[in-house]
Amino acid sequence: MSYEGLRVLITGSTRGIGKAAAQAFLERGARVAINGRRAEDVAATIAELGGANMIAAPGDMASAKACSKLVWGAIEGLGGLDVLVNNAGVFDSGPVVDVSEETYDWMMDINVKGVFFCSKAAIPELRRNKGSIVMTASESGLSGNKDTALYCTSKGAVVNMTRALAHDLAPDIRVNAVCPGAVMTDMVTGGGEPGDLTEMENFSPMKRIGTPKEIGEAICFLADPTQKFMTGALLAVDGGSTACR
């Protein structure tokens, strides 16, 4: 079992894709640091996932200082780190002319700056352990989707950060990204009953929205320690929508 004892930090793992990824790693025998902004959400997620083989690493990853603190908390709690999953992210949509500087800073701080500085903080430990980084990017980082210029800007940055870090950190640390299409999480439903999702479902040739589990499994695959030659890879898990545009 290649995942047995693997020490994994997943940012934004209190719900959605991050929680599904935590579940996938746990099922394979890994140990996981659960992160979210609020300590009570982190504790609730750990309890929900059964409590075993997890530690709490709460923290808001919107500042470089907080990123260092949460990464070092995870390293201390797990006794080291083999995999960093940069998954936490936020979404907003609307015409570019309506985007305020405040919204721009909020999204770029979480989706780009946090990813950059969590990676930076984890590099010495990942290098020591010949570990890997997995980014949750997006199909919106591979193409320019309508009325989401800010989100596309942030995920495009994550895509190219993946390539640049893969180059910089080889051969010690592998860096790969999953690029999901629409996935049924709070990000799509707004945390409540989803409205009419027909347009979103019809966007991909598969004519449906993905599940968090499908993306969690893909994240796990990218982190598989036996995949020693795979780095700088962008894995679209989007029902074929990127391939068909």
Ligand X SMILES: NC(=O)c1ccc[n+]([C@@H]2O[C@H](COP(=O)([O-])OP(=O)(O)OC[C@H]3O[C@@H](n4cnc5c(N)ncnc54)[C@H](O)[C@@H]3O)[C@@H](O)[C@H]2O)c1
- Name the residues annotated as catalytic: 151
Select 61 or 166, whichever has its Cβ closest to ligand X. Answer: 61
Is cis: bond before 171, omega within 30 of 0? Answer: yes
Distance of CA 118 to the CA centre of its chain: 12
The minimum distance between CB 185 and ligand X, in angstroms, equals 3
Q: What is the C-alpha separation between 123 and 77, in angstroms, rounded?
A: 17
Please, what sign has the CA dihedral across residues 27, 34, 93, 112?
negative
Which of 65, 56, 49 is closest to 11 using CA atoms?
A: 56
- Of 118 and 126, which has the nearer Cβ to ligand X? 118
Shortest spacing between CB 228 and ligand X, in angstroms: 26
Write down the least CB distance from residue 16 to ligand X, Å.
2
| Total count of residues recorded for the chain | 245
User: Quick one: residue 59, left, alpha or beta (phi over 0 = left, psi -120 to 50 = alpha)?
Assistant: left
Residues that bind ligand X (CB under 6 A): 11-12, 14-18, 35-37, 60-62, 87-91, 110, 136, 138, 180, 182-183, 185-188
Amino acid at 208: R
Q: Which of residues 108 and 129 has its CB atom nearest to ligand X in the complex? A: 108
DSSP 3-state of 178: strand
Q: For residues 30 and 88, which CB has a smaller minimum distance to ligand X in the complex? A: 88
Output the smallest distance, CB 92 to ligand X, in A. Answer: 11
Distance CA 48, CA 36 (A): 14
